[in-house]
Amino acid sequence: MTEPAARPALTPVAVVGRDDPRFPLDDYHLELHPDDEENLDAFIAHVDVEDAHAILRCRAGPGRWRLVEHRVQERRDDGVTVLARVDVTAREQARERDGRAEAYWRTVLRNGHESIAVVEPLGLTIAHASDRLTSLLGYPPGSLVGSRAFWHVDRRDLAAVRTMTAQWAGSAGPRVSEFRLRARDGTAVWVESVLSDARDDPAVQAYVLNLREIGDRKLAEEQLRSSEQLFRILVHHLADGAIVVDDDARIVFVSERAAEALGAGVDDLRGTVVPLRETDDGLELGGEPPTDRPPPLYRLPTEVLGPRGRWYHLAGHDLSDDPVVSGWILVLRDVTDSRVRVARLRREVEEDPLTGLLNRRGLESRVAAHLAAGRTVGVGFLDLDGFKTVNDTYGHSSGDALLCAVAARLKRCVRPDDEVARFGGDEFVIAFVDLPSESELVEMTNRVLDAVAGSYSTDHGTVEVGVSAGWSVALPGTDVQEALRRADFRMYEQKRRLRG
């Protein structure tokens, strides 16, 4: 068994740490940790090397192991080497903690969702770039270090980024911006940048950028803008007008079609109360907005009279609970032409084309509406005496002229709410609205008879016409046909009496 080589003699002199009570200076041979035996041998073997030193675990008697730095302090002419020993436990522990912290943050930066870049103030070169940033731009790890930061900015945003950097330098607090970077393959990468000025931090002394890729968000924003633009184009070109009002009935959005209907410009209407007001004849749209009460949106949908005599169907949708709208959406459609067509069709269906009076269908409809509204209607049934003679003697044109003349006299005899109709041939019917008694109905009918019966001028001279009449009173809930039959029956009873 080979004996281990003897260690060279070392003078146990402690130049530094002389007052440390844990290490008695009169004995160099402290207890050495077994795992550091080889480290001690290596140190002794190289003790003649300039600045030779070693950190060994030692202890003097019972107690914790300490880290002791052994360093060559002096080499004497007599061949004795003088060592200095220093307890560096606290220093080494601090270094270990710093190393662990650095490793921790490097791991965080490497695996975090954001990209980090540290930019040197002088020349604005990249001093550090996280792996996520280099991967985002398509470069291998570490290849961005040393390059100019502006080289990686898309040329479309370069001028704006230079301006922002110059303005923000030295400003307090982080600065947020959005711009495009140029990837290795030439494609643009949208990022959100948070720039922090850490030049005054002795540990950094540079600009720190936190970059987050926002390409998906930018695409979604662009799609949203396109959708909004398409929506506005569609709304402005629809036949229907659209108005969006807030909870205070103030206009938030108005389409060009709706603004045209209101007789004002889009910009003039925005922010004003929607001009919808109640009148004695219904709702009216346009002009000055109401000031004494809020617009009656609760009455929608309905037809309203707008500027220039145009009629609109106005519908309202209460979306106050919708966070996007938080108000009402009003849709208006011009129904003027359709109202004219309906009125013309109604006239064709309900009016007598010769006299312009109501026909049988029109009168029955009007009387039914009055009775449904709780009004009493007196029905007078009239038949001309002598009309057939005029028609047969002078022809149909003379007969038609006589009928029109009789119709004109009837219209002059009745009140505004009363209805006058020609039932065909020489039969006419008057509906007296709100007559409380049969006696008043008889009195009114007699006045009509006196006005209608008499002489009429024709192209063939003057003719005499008589009138026979019958009447009945229809109370609310009465069948219209029954009221007409009773009046018709009484009219023929009168004719029979006159003939007998």
Q: Is residue 68 in some structural domain?
A: yes
Q: Is residue 8 in some structural domain?
A: yes
Q: Is residue 461 in some structural domain?
A: yes
Q: How many CB atoms lie within 10 A of CB 110?
A: 13
Question: Is residue 304 classed exposed, middle or buried when 0-12, 13-18 and 19+ CB atoms within 10 A define those classes?
Answer: buried
Alpha carbon distance, N-terminus to C-terminus of the chain? 170
DSSP, collapsed to helix, strand or coil, labels residue 445 as helix
Any idea what the CATH number is for the domain that residue 403 is in? 3.30.70.270
Domain span holding position 144: 112-213
Q: What's the confidence (pLDDT) of residue 428?
A: 93
Question: Of the residues 146, 178, 213, which one is the last residue of a structural domain?
Answer: 213
Q: Is residue 99 in some structural domain?
A: no
Q: Is residue 321 in some structural domain?
A: yes
Sheet holding 206-213, edge to edge: 126-129, 115-119, 206-213, 188-198, 175-182
pLDDT tens across 95-130, in order? 887 777 666 666 655 655 678 888 888 888 988 888
**Dist. CA 3–CA 14, nearest whole Å:** 30
pLDDT for residue 421 is more than 90: yes
Shared domain check, 478 and 367: yes
> Which amino acid makes up residue 333?
R
Shared domain check, 491 and 371: yes
Backbone angles phi and psi of 81, in degrees to 5:
-100, 130
Q: Is residue 120 in some structural domain?
A: yes
90-104, 328-342, 359-373 — most confident range = 359-373
Q: Is residue 107 in some structural domain?
A: no
Q: Is residue 105 in some structural domain?
A: no
Quick one: which of 55, 59, 22, 61 has its CA closest to 40? 55
| Number of domains the chain is built from | 4
Angle of helix 396-413 relative to helix 438-452, nearest 10 degrees?
A: 140
Shared domain check, 333 and 274: yes
pTM assigned to the model? 0.43
Shared domain check, 80 and 118: no
pLDDT tens across 336-346, in order? 888 888 878 87
Question: Of the residues 309, 338, 367, which one is the last residue of a structural domain?
Answer: 338
Mean pLDDT for the stretch of residues 438-460:
85
Mean pLDDT for the stretch of residues 192-205:
84
Question: Of the residues 172, 190, 213, which one is the last residue of a structural domain?
Answer: 213
